[in-house]
């Protein structure tokens, strides 16, 4: 990574951390882009070079999870491998203060959680696109799109359980529970009747 890219990443991180601090101190609704920019010591114009809105700052954590997961993805690049890599990345982030601040913010602000489906769509698109690029393709395959979408949503359910539960289990363990349920629900115990009959 060159100097310019490193500086851009540093600025993005600074703005994100500043936003989390202000969201925690003042609440999501009462925090403005101008406040975030001032806290990060950048101009509002610079803020908008990185994020389309303050909502975009909250979605940033998911992109970081996806990128960390891609770094640790092994040979299994299907659904199970993606879920394992994503949950490992989340379990790692849980130990960091920024994620704890974000988790508290999500628990305490229902209006923030309402953006979750949009974020998950963006994260799964990002994941699928990166998987395709890794294989030298400009567009993800049908299988990559399915696996990425399923993995992000499975892990999303596990993260919700962790956020609003007792935290006794890790996100990885919660995701295993989700996968077990899906396996059980999708198993065919009875013969499917022929539509033509």
* pLDDT tens track, the chain, 197 positions: 677 788 888 998 899 889 988 887 888 888 999 999 999 999 999 999 999 888 888 888 788 889 889 998 888 899 999 999 999 988 888 777 667 667 777 777 777 777 788 888 989 999 999 999 999 999 999 999 999 999 999 998 998 888 887 667 788 888 999 999 998 888 755 444 554 44
pLDDT value at residue 25: 84
Whether domain 55-186 has CATH 3.30.70: the reply is no
Tell me the two tokens of residue 40: 């990060």
pLDDT value at residue 191: 46
Helix (H) or strand (E) holding 132, with range, is helix 116-134
- Specify the DSSP class assigned to residue 40: H
Domain limits, the chain? 1-51, 55-186
pLDDT value at residue 192: 46
Beta-strand ranges (E) seen in the chain are none
On whether the CB atoms of residues 122 and 98 are closer than 8 A, the answer is no
d(CA 175, CA 185): 15
pLDDT value at residue 190: 46
Residue of 62, 86, 61 whose CA lies nearest to 73: 86
Question: The domain 1-51 is classified under which CATH number: 1.10.10.60, 3.40.1080.10, 3.30.300.30, 1.10.230.10?
Answer: 1.10.10.60
Q: Do the domains at 1-51 and 55-186 have one common CATH topology?
A: no
Tell me the two tokens of residue 134: 């890794």
Q: What is the pTM of this model?
A: 0.77
On whether the CB atoms of residues 123 and 66 are closer than 8 A, the answer is yes
**R_g (Cα) of the chain, nearest Å:** 19
Residue of 75, 59, 47 whose CA lies nearest to 152: 59
pLDDT value at residue 34: 97
pLDDT value at residue 154: 94
């Amino acid at each position: 990574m060159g100097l310019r890219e490193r500086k851009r990443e540093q600025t993005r991180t600074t703005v994100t951390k500043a936003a989390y601090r202000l969201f925690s101190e003042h609440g999501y609704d009462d925090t403005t882009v101008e406040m975030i920019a001032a806290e990060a010591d950048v101009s509002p114009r610079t803020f908008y070079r990185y994020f389309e809105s303050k909502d975009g700052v909250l979605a940033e954590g998911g992109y970081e999870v996806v990128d960390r997961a891609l770094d640790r993805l092994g040979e299994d690049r299907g659904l199970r491998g993606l879920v394992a890599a994503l949950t490992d990345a989340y379990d790692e982030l849980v130990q960091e203060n920024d994620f704890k601040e974000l988790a508290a913010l999500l628990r305490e602000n229902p209006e923030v959680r309402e953006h979750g489906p949009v974020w998950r769509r963006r994260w799964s698109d990002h994941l699928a696109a990166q998987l395709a690029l890794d294989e030298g393709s400009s567009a993800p395959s049908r299988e990559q799109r399915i696996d990425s979408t399923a993995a992000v949503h499975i892990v999303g359910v596990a993260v919700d359980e962790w956020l609003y539960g007792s935290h006794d289990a890790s996100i990885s363990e919660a995701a295993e529970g989700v996968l077990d349920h899906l396996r059980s629900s999708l198993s065919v115990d009875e013969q499917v009747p022929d539509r033509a009959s």
